[in-house]
Amino acid sequence: MANNLINKILDKAYSEKSLSRDEIIFLLSLNNVNEIAQIFELARKLKYRYFDNKVFLYGFVYFSTWCRNDCRFCYYRKSNTESQRYRKDLEEIVEASISLAESGVHLIDLTMGEDPYYQQTQNKLKYLVDLVRQVKKEVNLPIMISPGVVSNQVLHRLASAGADWYACYQETHNRLLFSELRLNQDYDERFFSKEYALRNGLLVEEGILTGVGESMADIADSIEGMRSLGAQQVRVMSFVPQKGSPMDSWQSPDRLRELKIISVLRLLFPDRLIPASLDIDGSQGLKARLNAGANVITSLIPSSSGLAGVAQSTKDIQEGYRTVQGILPILEDMSLEIATQNEYLGWIENERQKLSFHSIQKKGVQL
């Protein structure tokens, strides 16, 4: 009986018909390994339909770990006295970015805590904007910025300086849960900043955390939230408990939960980018995420840069496992290939054109 239902839902997904909230909850709730394997298999098929056996690689530069916020799940929340804080200067940031570019990544993700330093004076803000401009100039690669919520004006300036992507994860689309996780932050402000970015030509990454008290229905609602936003990249990360944070004694969720969500994301968004982050289980967790339908490897960090990860601040970094060289054997083993830079550029250019077409349509301009 269940199997008939699974086949019916998977047939729908195969022909790229949208799934209902109940169907999504049903898939996410499956526990039988054979049934879950069927979902993974279809997720891989859909991934191949759009991306063949190619993966994209994102370098990660967490250049300031200072933050004004107090997210309950985060190691870098302002009241955590145990986390290592640093703010890298321009030279170090450029150096790390060049090293990533030379190693073969397709994009540099410039990430920071919501560091109040850059908001102190116009000069400091200009430093932040110039930093993006300088990295872009030196590496000539697409840039993603992950600065948290910033004003529309700052977003514009970062985009003009060369940012192509804005990453900002809602974590959950359940407002109550959001308010419990992202303490004293405004749900709408966070969501609207992404809508604003999209309307102004930036590509957007949306994301959720799993294992933070959300229900299957919440995840289905988040998937709907991602669809309504129209993000080009969609992610899920398993919660990793952090020393010194209020959720330190929580359990990290069973990884099958994240893997199921990755595969359901692929079923719903076959042609979108879906990360397999090295920031949760390091390189050991890569294969399973790619097998569940992910096609972008994120959180590649130069080994001797002194730069940290987020959910896993140190795991696999010094050992060099979170580098392109470090993951090559895994890709080879899976018969996956690194896409060319032109393939990545072509993908994002195509998405940008769709964005400008939609925004012209919305403004009612005659073509």
Which of 110, 209, 278, 348 is in the footprint of ligand SAM by CB under 6 A? Answer: 209
Q: Contact at 8 Å (CB) between 264 and 224?
A: no
Select from 2-10, 67-75, 117-125, 350-358 the region that touches ligand SF4 (CB under 6 A): 67-75
237 binds ligand SAM (CB under 6 A): yes
Residue list 95-114, contact with ligand MD0 (CB under 6 A):
109, 111
311 binds ligand SAM (CB under 6 A): yes
**Helix/strand/coil percent split, the chain, to 5:** 50, 15, 35
Which of 65, 146, 170, 313 is in the footprint of ligand MD0 by CB under 6 A? Answer: 146
DSSP 114-152: --GGGGSSHHHHHHHHHHHHHHHHHH-S-EEEE-SS--H
- Strand segments, DSSP code E, in the chain are 54-64, 107-112, 143-146, 163-167, 203-210, 233-238, 275-277, 296-300, 337-338
Total residues in contact with ligand MD0, by rule CB under 6 A: 12
CB of 123 to ligand SAM, least distance (A): 22
Token couple for 265: 């994301």
Select from 87-95, 135-143, 234-242, 285-293 the region that touches ligand SAM (CB under 6 A): 234-242
167 binds ligand MD0 (CB under 6 A): yes
Token couple for 153: 């004006």
Task: Give whichever of 59 and 225 is closer to ligand MD0, judged by the CB atom.
Answer: 59
Q: How far apart are the C-alpha atoms of 179 and 175, rounded to whole Å? A: 6
298 binds ligand MD0 (CB under 6 A): yes
CB of 244 to ligand SF4, least distance (A): 12
- Strand segments, DSSP code E, in 223-346 are 233-238, 275-277, 296-300, 337-338
Q: Contact at 8 Å (CB) between 65 and 57?
A: no
76 binds ligand SF4 (CB under 6 A): yes
Q: How far apart are the C-alpha atoms of 116 and 276, rounded to whole Å? A: 30
CB of 168 to ligand SF4, least distance (A): 9
Name the burial class of residue 297, with classes exposed (0-12), middle (13-18) and buried (19+) by CB atoms within 10 angstroms of its CB: buried
Residue nearest to ligand SAM (CB): 311
* Helix residue spans in 15-121 (DSSP H): 21-29, 33-51, 90-103
Sign of the dihedral defined by the CA atoms of residues 150, 138, 282, 330, in that order: positive
Task: Give whichever of 309 and 326 is closer to ligand SF4, judged by the CB atom.
Answer: 309
Biggest alpha carbon–alpha carbon distance for the chain: 65
Task: Give whichever of 14 and 66 is closer to ligand SAM, judged by the CB atom.
Answer: 66
Which of 24, 44, 58, 113 is in the footprint of ligand SF4 by CB under 6 A? Answer: 113
163 binds ligand SF4 (CB under 6 A): no
242 binds ligand MD0 (CB under 6 A): no
Where do contacts with ligand SAM occur on this chain (CB under 6 A)?
Answer: 73-74, 111, 113-114, 146, 148, 168-169, 171, 207, 209, 237, 239-240, 242, 310-311
Where do contacts with ligand MD0 occur on this chain (CB under 6 A)?
Answer: 60, 109, 111, 146, 167, 275, 277, 279, 298-299, 309-310
